[in-house]
A and B are shown apart, each in its own frame.
Chain A
Amino acid sequence: MEAVLFFVLAAGALAGALGVVLGRNPVHCALFLLVTMAAVAVFFLMQDADLVAIIQLVVYASAIVVLFLFVITLLGVDEHERLDEPHPFQRYAAIVLGAVLLVQVLVVIGNDWATGARSTVGPLDEDGRSGNVETLARALFTDYIWAFEVTAVLLVIAVVGGVVLARRSGRRLPAEGERP
């Protein structure tokens, strides 16, 4: 069952990724990205990482893809978008870098040259707690409470900064030599 599910989803994720790269219509590309994100979210779920799965759906599949679609619609892209490439070498560079990344991942999986602190292996809900949502919440409200609270400042800055930059300026810049 699990193997069947894995292969079906893996095929879906790969097909979505290919669709993003090969699609002609930008809106379709963004929607293909959604397929990949959703498939990866189910992978996380299969690994008992329910929180990561939800974050994958909420942040990537919803917020980020919707943002892409927003930008695409705002820029008014029509169906026959000419995909002119101002820098033709970029395509080859992307292929080479993608290959390098693939080799890197394979090498890292095959070797254990990186040593560091001992990592913990096993399901997160081992000690009778109700899964990794609670474990993470506990960490947020105990050890990381200060970091968690401090993000409030970031949100205030985001709101004030957004208003400042988006508001239409009411005052004109007086010309040189003009009396205020």
Chain B
Amino acid sequence: MTVLAQALDAAVDTPRVDWLAIAPETVLFGAAVAIVLGRALARRRPLVDEASFLTALVGVVAAGVFTFVQWVVVDGDGPYQAIAGMVAVDGFAVFVRTVVLIATFLGLLLSAGYLRREGLEAPEYHALMLCSATGMMLMASANDLIVVFLALEILSIALYVLVAFDRRRVTSQEAGLKYFLLGSFSSAVLLYGIALVYGGTGTTNLTRIARFLAGTTLLEEGVLLTGLVLMLVGLGFKVAAAPFHMWAPDVYQGSPTPVVSFMGGATKAAAFAAILRVYAGAFELYRVDWRPAVWALAVLSLVVGSVAALVQTDVKRMLAYSSVAHAGYVLIGVQVGNEAGTTAALYYVMAYTLMVFGAFAVVTVVGRRGDRRHELADYRGLAGAQPVLAALLTLFLLAQAGVPLTGGFVAKLSVFDAAVDAGQYWLALVGMLAAAVSAFVYLRIVLAMYAPEDDGPAVAARPVRVDLAAAVALAIAAAGVLFLGLLPDVVLDFARDATQLLAAGGRAGA
């Protein structure tokens, strides 16, 4: 029998591809490829920049439309799994995708003026940002550890390049290299953990892992537990949880500021999506084992993040350490491990994405050409020269501190509420103390802005200019933060529905 005849004999049943399930990622990636092709084929530069910007925006909006269609389907018919159980289409995925798309949309708007100001290559930047967002979207719906790993690599490798994008600044290159080396190391640790979990359960599919653990009692759990710990290390690195946060200050300080405003929230959203789906979903039965590890991560992140932020003088570094603390608050929600905890964690991620975007957006425009005026002294008297920008930064910082009427307050409240309900008084107490300490950090920046300018050097020599796209992005972020604070129920209900649909999806399975 010839090889060909043999091949025809053994026809392969390829799985049915549900295009709706993967439509948002496909559209985003398609836009990225279109931008790269357009860049390669087109001749006139300025036109290419504008066209790639528009293509990227259209791609994000189209992905948003498909995500909304997914929500309608999931809300009506319940969650389901597609493409051989690799993709989970559930409310949880829709929620995280929404967060990622908001961050990408705002990030693109903010970057337009920045790229022009710094004279950077816009098409490549947009394509890499869309690729990174594709990875985050894949992560949101990944129902298999292999897809989790691939999605993490996709989002990270694009980010390594974006961080090093401004090659004329040594700090940007250094940040890119540091992020790349430490990130590859953490990816290897995650992969090692996945391999051990596969060894322990015989599958990488999260639904099948849950089913296997429900039906089997393992006499010796050493391999499985080691795998769980190593995976937590790998994912903890991505959310910048202490003690795996070492990269965050240098990377946040060195990379182009719009990149930080995009990755700060979106990367955390994607990585927390994986943590929640793997730990609170597939390994729900092993809660007793992983909760202490997450508890330790949460407490360390809260303490290290808030205390280390106190001694910084660079605003980007301050915000980097505060992002470590914010990872701690979300980890409180993860640690609680029930529906309320997951809901609170999701809400926190949404609020944090808007707050951190807004704060870094103001830092972007205040940094001026060269992206280097980020010392606290550079903010002295900003309120006099730029009252609107100063007021906006104040709003975003107060939201991060958790002041009432902002999204940050409701986010912190719901996380602490979930912890107290589950009897985790100490964790809630540490969280509240950390919130008090970090409030001081944010107030330092606010006070610097409203301080009289006379005793410092004349910093406003070169005026701060805000282009239209960045102004729109700032307005959207500010409106979002206020909306989350004044009418939290809309998003809280969304997060709660999303969590319930996750739970249902995890149990039914395909």
- Interface residue ranges, A against B (CB under 8 Å): 113-119, 129-130, 134, 138, 141-147, 150-151, 153-154, 156-158, 160-161, 163-165, 169, 171-174, 176-177, 180
Contacts and interface: CB of A to CB of B under 8 A. Distances in A.
A164 B218 CA distance: 49
Interface string B132-153: 0011001000001011001101
A151 to B, nearest CB: 6
Contact of B128 (A116, A119, A151, A161): A161
B218 A150 contact: no
Nearest to A128: B10
Interface in B154-186: 154, 157-158, 160-161, 164-165, 167-169, 176
A158 B154 CA distance: 10
B128 A114 contact: no
A143 B146 CA distance: 11
B384 interface: no
Contacts of B124: 160, 163-164
22 contacts: A113-B222, A114-B222, A114-B223, A115-B200, A115-B218, A115-B220, A130-B6, A144-B86, A145-B14, A145-B84, A146-B147, A150-B138, A150-B147, A154-B157, A156-B131, A157-B161, A161-B157, A164-B161, A165-B164, A169-B167, A173-B119, A177-B462
A116 B150 contact: no
A158 B118 CA distance: 24
A101 B192 CA distance: 16
B332 interface: no
A129 B164 CA distance: 48
A142 B14 contact: yes
Contact of A146 (B10, B84, B219): B84
Contacts of A144: 84, 86, 146
A171 B117 CA distance: 12
Contacts of A145: 14-15, 17, 83-84, 86
Contacts of B224: 116
Contacts of B200: 114-117
Q: Which 9 A-B pairs have the closest CB atoms?
A: A117-B202, A161-B161, A116-B200, A146-B86, A114-B223, A171-B119, A173-B168, A146-B83, A147-B146
Given A116-B199, A116-B201, A118-B202, A158 B222 contact: no
Given A114-B222, A147-B150, A156 B36 contact: yes
B32 interface: yes
Contacts of A118: 202
Contact of A142 (B12, B32, B370): B12
On chain B, which size bracket covers the interface? Answer: 35 or more
B449 interface: no
A160 B84 contact: no
A84 to B, nearest CB: 23
Given A141-B14, A142-B15, A146-B84, A160 B167 contact: no
A114 B134 contact: no
B84 A157 contact: no
Contacts, number: 131
A114 B127 CA distance: 45
Contacts of A160: 36, 124, 127-128, 131, 161
A156 B32 contact: yes
B13 interface: yes
A175 to B, nearest CB: 8
Given A114-B199, A150-B154, A156-B33, 12 more contacts: A116-B223, A134-B10, A142-B84, A145-B14, A145-B17, A145-B86, A147-B86, A147-B146, A147-B150, A160-B128, A160-B161, A173-B119
Interface string B1-41: 00000100010111101000010000001001100100000
B135 A129 contact: no
B369 interface: yes
Contacts of B144: 146-147
B212 interface: yes
B393 interface: no
A125 to B, nearest CB: 13
A156 B201 CA distance: 33
B419 to A, nearest CB: 33
A159 to B, nearest CB: 8
Interface string B49-64: 0000000000000000
A129 B117 CA distance: 61
Contact of A154 (B15, B17, B150, B203): B150
Given A153-B135, A164-B165, A173-B370, A117 B203 contact: yes
Interface in B74-106: 83-87
Contacts of B164: 165
A118 B203 CA distance: 11
Contact of B158 (A119, A130, A161): A161
Q: Which of A141, A157, A161 has the most CB of B within 10 A?
A: A157
B115 to A, nearest CB: 11
| Highest count of chain A CB atoms <10 Å: which of B12, B134, B462 | B12
B202 A150 contact: no
Contacts of B157: 154, 157-158, 161
Contacts of A129: 10
Nearest to A161: B161
A146 B205 CA distance: 12
A143 B15 contact: yes
A113 B223 CA distance: 9
B150 A151 contact: yes
B121 interface: yes
A83 to B, nearest CB: 23
